[in-house]
Chains A and B, each alone.
Chain A
Amino acid sequence: MSTAAVVSALMVGALALGPARLPAQAGAGGVAGDAGRGRQVYERYCVQCHGERTDGAGEVARWSQPKPRDFRQGIYKFSSAPYGFLPTTADLDRVIQNGLYGTRMPPFAALSTRERRDVIAYLQTRSPRWRTEEPGTPITIPAEPASTREAVTRGRELFEANCTRCHGDGTGNGPSAVKGMVDDWGMAITPANLTLGRGKWARTARDIYVRAMTGINGTPMPESADALTPEQVWQVAHYVQALGGWAGSTRELRQFAAQLPLPGEASSAP
């Protein structure tokens, strides 16, 4: 029984050693997470890459490519809002839950909703942008039209006209890529290989549509909302979907796309 008392005393004593909590702070965009608790979440799961100062200079950052995000700048690559705007809480939550495929950013789907909400609230305290700007409004995504041979054919033409310079034949071997590209942080960056059937962020044709429409912040990937109509962007998305085993792609359209001239091939032929 005395040991039980010791156990109890130890536990009660330990409770008193708890860390001082930062004041609860709602982040921008009406997020009701607890930034203080979010810092605890960050220190457990994120600090090794993103660093104690959230500057992207964690102890494994030197071995990471692409480099971990510097949250002090408030620039987030993947957003459902137009290029240049802050992402929504849902955008940040998606990256936390799904991770970024092929990078050191793992999926944290096992974290509770509260943990994710709290760490987002903490991240939103790390850049002054969150105090002066509101997150962008997500783009409107029209209903996805059926992916057909015609759409894929038209999508290939649009891809050739708008994307080949960087993405080349879809594998990321365009002239600009060969020449060398850098992102806003001065780091070398390569265009995505779209034939792999999955992007860092994108999984479906809808995701490809969002990326094509809004671009990728901080990178040479521009938004195409001004250059292409939604219908055209869907066609590009369906062509890209047919380049690899993307979720929702069909074998029939993949085989069809494989028979088409590679982007850049027809125009460069003598």
Chain B
Amino acid sequence: MKGKLFNVFNTIGKGLKLTLGHFFAATESRTIKPITDDNYFAQKSGTTTIQYPHQKLPLPEVGRYQLDVEMDDCIVCDLCAKICPVDCIEIESIKSTEAIGKTSDGTTKRLYAAKFDIDMAKCMYCGLCTVVCPTECIIMTDTYDRSTLTLNEMVYKFSDMTAAEAEDKRIALEIQTAERLAAKQAALQPDRNTE
């Protein structure tokens, strides 16, 4: 009984001492260091809050946060959309009538991206798309805070074509296909005649 009573006061005292210690230590606050810093865990006392919009933890240059697409390097192969586990990438491609150009690693571009949307609200940041991309044009960046007022704004549109341009390309493709078909049929026609 005596020991128990002593234990009660002892533990209450210990607890009160602990909280009071932290209370008075709160005059200091933690200095913001990147995680790579050797002294990152060195500070044991003081407040640890990072007042977020005003203060930010420094990030390494190669962050793995929001996706970004370098459209000049994209060959619109659709691999990223296929591998995406949550189907957040939507791509609509139009075949080009001729080779459009070359990406920075020398691959020839033959498709236009009429639509290249990534829904960041759905994205789970697995990074699979960056792995499969043959030209390494889809990458993760160090941007992590892009708050928006509406959900629609979470869909990032990377396609650099306007709707009119896309329509032009589509019509051009149709004309080319029709021409080729006509040429093919024209090529076939004389054979039939000779029969």
- Please indicate whether A and B come from the same complex rather than being unrelated chains: no
